[in-house]
A = this chain, B = another copy of it.
Amino acid sequence: MSLVVQKFGGTSVADVDRIRHVAGVVAATRAAGHELVVVVSAMAGETNRLLALARQAARTPDDRESDVLVATGEQVTAALLALTLQDTGVDARSFLGHQIRIETDSAFSRARIVRVDVDRLRRALGAGTVAVVAGFQGVDGEGSITTLGRGGSDTSAVALAAALGADTCEIYTDVDGVYTSDPRIVPQARKLDRIAYDEMLELASLGAKVLQIRSVEFAKRYRVPVHVRSTFSGAPGTWVVEEDSRMEEVSVAGVAYDRDEAKLTILRVPDRPGVAARLFGPIARANIVVDMIIQNASADGTTDLTFTVARGDYAKARALVDETARQIGAQGVTGQTDVAKVSVVGIGMRTHAGIAARMFEVLGAEGINVQMISTSEIKVSVVVDEKYTELAVRALHDAFIGGPRP
């Protein structure tokens, strides 16, 4: 007998019929003798419906009250799944964030888990009850309801798995695993059987939307084996696990892309200490996340400074940078919103030199100009014109991963 945490996403619980299907998956796991905690998202579309109500109610909805509102989505699903399980003869009981309790900080709408108390869950499990947990939600030190941000139910599931010392955390979703690239763009993309936490972290942050990035951080920190799989097919999916030596044999595990990018360049910035702080201080204070930063030193004592932000933050960032550029005596600011980031990721890169060089070669052969480059130990990212996204992803996948596994 093992302890399993299963998480079902919004499309898996989109209506009562699908919830009944999920109850079947849960009942089968329980019948196999496992102790079971099930984490659910809101029914597909429900979170957006509630957020739309909030925007009807207030021009700039307060985050605390928005969290009270949207947390009802997961509460509804948890109750409905518990009811459905009971109806099929499985002893089940719902638990909300504040009942468990999952304590977070007070950063409403994007709270971070600070403590998970699993005593109540353990008692339920000990009594043979399936614990159905409303994902995405927690409670702060004041007892206010918080939410963990988009995809937060993944993090709820992994955090509970970590706190309970679960043997596995199964993330059920509408795809059947993690792919070497987006199958809509790369027909030869294939499902990975295993991927290392670090690779998954890079892929998640680079736009592969299978798992919320914080859930992968949790899984890595507490060594929770995560199994990403399809609610509907029953086939094995992808295990996100600690790296092992076999993984290093594969230089590139995946090719990811992110169209949610915009680029700003400040021209002829005086190359003095403190200038970067002047530029990025206002941006950080506006809660705008800067991704890549590149600086080209030049001979005349000035430098061109380019950075990227999420496309939705472009206008705000541009206004702030225009202002600062004037103050520090830069020549001007240019920007571009039709760029994309394309990345190759793999822990094998650590031992395989020349991945970056080969990448530029492949892109160059397709006539794609690389505008920016950023590298980490296990990934290389480039910014290109958005129109080349599909071409770049396909070419890189062909070069590094190739066709279906022999």
Contact = CB atoms under 8 A, between A and B. Distances in A.
Interface residues of A, number: 38
Interface in A311-326: none
B68 A75 contact: yes
A370 interface: no
16 contacts: A20-B57, A53-B80, A54-B79, A54-B80, A54-B83, A57-B83, A58-B84, A62-B86, A65-B82, A68-B79, A69-B76, A69-B79, A71-B75, A72-B72, A72-B75, A99-B144
Contacts of A99: 143-144
Given A62-B82, A99-B143, A144-B99, A19 B57 contact: yes
Interface in A27-81: 50, 53-54, 56-59, 61-62, 64-66, 68-69, 71-72, 75-76, 78-81
A110 interface: no
Interface in A79-110: 79-84, 86-87, 93-94, 96, 98-99
B57 A80 contact: yes
A2 to B, nearest CB: 26
Identical subunits present: 2
Nearest to A56: B16
Contacts of A75: 68-69, 71-72, 75
Contacts of A62: 82-83, 86
Given A62-B83, A65-B82, A68-B82, 17 more contacts: A19-B57, A20-B57, A57-B81, A57-B87, A58-B87, A59-B87, A62-B82, A65-B83, A65-B94, A68-B79, A68-B96, A69-B76, A72-B75, A75-B75, A96-B145, A98-B98, A99-B144
A386 to B, nearest CB: 36
A143 to B, nearest CB: 5
A20 B62 CA distance: 16
B64 A16 contact: no
A160 to B, nearest CB: 17
A65 B50 contact: no
Contacts of A66: 79, 83
Given A16-B53, A56-B16, A87-B59, A94 B68 contact: yes
A83 B58 contact: yes
A84 B55 CA distance: 10
A64 B79 CA distance: 9
Contacts of A69: 75-76, 79-80, 83
Nearest to A101: B143
Interface in A354-385: none
Contact of A76 (B50, B58, B61, B96): B50
A90 to B, nearest CB: 11
A157 to B, nearest CB: 19
Contacts of A61: 83
> Which 3 A-B pairs rank lowest in CB-CB distance, beginning with the nearest?
A58-B87, A69-B79, A72-B72
A72 B75 CA distance: 7
A22 to B, nearest CB: 11
Nearest to A134: B68
A63 to B, nearest CB: 10
Nearest to A80: B57
